[in-house]
Structure 1
Amino acid sequence: MYHSQRDINVVSPWAAKTWAGITANGYYDSTCPGALITREESAVVTNRLRKNFLKLIAGTNGNVSDLDKRLKKIEAEEK
């Protein structure tokens, strides 16, 4: 299938609002929104989400290290 070339530095109109939010929250650096993502880039974003999720949950009881240990145990079970 033929795909027209696009400028990877320009956000697609359908994704503009989401892209603005995700970059404003620091998950992506706002460069090359139309480029393919690598596993390394995906790992960075996943790790940022994971840390923020732990902080959010820890806000209910203030203990991030226990939550991190529990999450690592859960993640190990998923392998």
Structure 2
Amino acid sequence: EIVENMKRMASSDQEFTVEERNLLSVAYKNVIGACRASWRIVSSVEQKEESKGNEAQVSMVKGYGEKVE
């Protein structure tokens, strides 16, 4: 939610205050951090399923991984 608000502010001609820049930085850091953590988990599960030879699960995990990306 905060990221969307900050995007709207960024598209205007108005300059950010120091506090607004910090909020934007923290918001993106949190969003990207969560995505990276999800991707790491999906990647790990994919590797485990590939090593087991479970192609059905690998296909499902790859599909979910594309959504995370």
TM-score (norm 2): 0.40
| Larger relative contact order, structure 1 or 2 (CA cutoff 8 Å, min sep 6) | 2
TM-score (norm 1): 0.35
Q: Of the two, which has the highest radius of gyration? A: 2
